[in-house]
Chains A and B, each alone.
Chain A
Amino acid sequence: MSDVFNRPQLKDSYGNYINGEFKAPVDGHYFDVTTPIDGSVITKVPRSNKNDVDAALDAAHAAYTTWKNSSVTERSNMLLKIADIVEENHHMIAAVETLDNGKSIRETVFADIALVIDHFRYFAGVIRAEEGSVSELDATTVSMNIKEPIGVVAQIIPWNFPLLMAAWKIAPALAAGNCVIVKPAEQTPASICVFMELVGHLIPPGVLNVIHGFGPEAGKPLAQSPRVHKVAFTGETTTGRLIMQYASENLNPVTMELGGKSPNIFFPSVMDADDEYLNKAVEGAVMFALNQGEVCTCPSRILVHEDIYDAFMAKVVERTNAIKMGSPFDMSTMMGAQASEDQFNKIMSYIEIGKEEGAEVLCGGSAANLGGDLDSGYYIQPTILKGHNKMRVFQEEIFGPVTCVTTFKTTEEALEIANDTLYGLGAGVWTRDAHEAYQVPRSIEAGRVWVNCYHAYPAHAPFGGYKQSGFGRETHLMMLNHYRQNKNLLVSYDKNALGFF
């Protein structure tokens, strides 16, 4: 494998993907897509509006009349073929994702795209093994539960893992027999265009459609349409509420993944030996820098027992200072660019808020000037702030390479701090004590608790939030039921009348 990937060349523009082909927007308007690597324009995509959404809805509804009766085998095989094509183009797609989002190529190769491939295969597999249920209620009455797709679903995708978050939603929706309209984030619409170029021919026309554009112009008519039967959203709380309001007008179900402020807790036994485990735990604390911190589950609050604070954090700061920044296309680069200029400015303002609130900067604390072409990109040093849990930097999702550290004296105090947040998406617990490793996670109000690991997202382990982090569980077969109805057949095998009338 080359150590430095070539910057991919995209087409001048892409259309929406509707009814099995790329289509120009009805009104002819496009917008520039820039890369956060250096701020340059990389392609154009449609600035769609309700007319384009309606065209996609027409295509999806037409396709649904047959797709809803497609066999499990057909759907499973299609997902497997999608996975195969992505795998054959693994590095090319990873390079496009790096260009689109700014993250380092080591992450798009080994995390994003690798997980995309596996995700399609996972849902291809589970639907072949799945069965409905039958209950004999009495000697002549049988209840059968048959899963049916929900219909035409809308999926609004975030910009932090553009293709992976799309795969998390597309794979189960297609596996369950739905037709899908995807609205990618306007900051990162490029990789799904390349994806559709590669796999579009495998999917019956109208079954998977992609509409580009801005939230208020393209996202709103999609989320509000009475012709949509379900909306899935990953993003922030206000837009989540707005989408739920739209869905309520149509009595539509929704699933929401709305972020977090995840605690990463280090108990004293972590420092019992200077061994491989300690090395892993130090890396676990530094995982806040993964994806430049632009992860809903970023371990943005480090809680360290006071007895090990000095020794442990010395190692964490040393490891953080060793993070190599540079061209995201270089395999040795550990951290790339923030996804956009507004994101960059927001993160920088939070670092200032932290300083103003009295947080101590243990490392980082400013923008990173990497020189050359990268000077026009959006780079921030990985930053650790020391403070207390009531500070705003401990409570608000910064969505950047910034973590905040505080200490605790007892397990009860650690739990109190961990749960003192509006959110409950992820958490980390690091300990060599077998009892702690079970009891502490059970007391944390979060949908995913990593124990002696962090930031793993394998298919087959359900992922989703408690509290204001949303509802619904992705990356697991239980996601299928978020995209299905239950048809209950209640059958009588008794020839005799009831006798009421």
Chain B
Amino acid sequence: MTRVEFTAEAKVLMDELRSFHGPIMFHQSGGCCDGSAPMCFALDEFKVGANDVFLGNVDGAPFYMSASQFEYWKHTHLTLHVTPGRGASFSLEIPTGKRFLIKSRLFSHEEILELQPPLMGKQH
């Protein structure tokens, strides 16, 4: 049972970014403005801390979220989408005029039973 998946459009954009920047990673943001949006960085551009949760790999790219935020998101399955739009942040896709977007649904009761506790800290 995965916690995070991605759409075909997300993979296309990820491939485009990798062709420029090499391996990439994601960290889910919270808070103001572009908060609640996933941030995409060159791998290790963002320093993952001991209090980040590793949610899994999306097409080989590690996806993290702060543990405090995960407390509120842990019952949610995430899917990495793409939307047109001019985001504002340090996320790598901003210059393309597209923005990564998380869509989500609640895990079913059966799925929650299958979930493994997530790993903490850097896992890549």
Contact = CB atoms under 8 A, between A and B. Distances in A.
B63 interface: no
A258 B87 contact: no
Q: Which of B32, B36, B88 has the most CB of A within 10 A?
A: B32
Contacts of B34: 235-236, 239
Contacts of B90: 215-216, 219-220, 239, 242
B106 A214 contact: no
B106 A357 contact: yes
A235 B92 contact: no
Interface in B1-52: 27-37, 39, 41, 45-47
Given A346-B37, A346-B101, A392-B76, A216 B91 contact: yes
A299 interface: no
A345 interface: yes
Given A237-B66, A238-B39, A341-B84, A468 B31 contact: yes
B102 to A, nearest CB: 8
Interface stretch (B54-62, B67-75, B113-121): B67-75
B3 to A, nearest CB: 15
Contact of B83 (A31, A345, A468, A469): A345
Interface stretch (A20-28, A395-403, A442-450, A453-461): A395-403
A381 interface: no
A282 to B, nearest CB: 26
A340 B104 CA distance: 21
B109 interface: no
Interface residues of A, number: 54
Q: Which of B72, B88, B90, B94 has the most CB of A within 10 A?
A: B88
A201 to B, nearest CB: 29
A328 B115 CA distance: 47
Contacts of B85: 340-345
A172 interface: no
A423 interface: yes
A138 interface: no
Given A245-B47, A396-B72, A342 B30 contact: no
Contact of A259 (B30, B101, B105): B30
A239 B89 contact: yes
A259 B34 CA distance: 10
B103 interface: yes
Contacts of B72: 390, 392, 395-396, 422
A236 B104 CA distance: 20
Given A214-B95, A238-B27, A257 B83 contact: no
A217 B90 CA distance: 8
A98 interface: no
B124 interface: no
B89 A236 contact: yes
Contacts of A350: 36
Nearest to B36: A396
Contacts of A76: none
A460 B43 CA distance: 43
Nearest to B104: A353
Contacts of A469: 31
A472 interface: no
B31 A349 contact: no
A216 B92 contact: yes
16 contacts: A160-B33, A185-B33, A216-B92, A236-B32, A236-B37, A237-B31, A237-B35, A239-B89, A241-B27, A242-B90, A258-B35, A341-B84, A342-B83, A349-B102, A353-B104, A468-B30
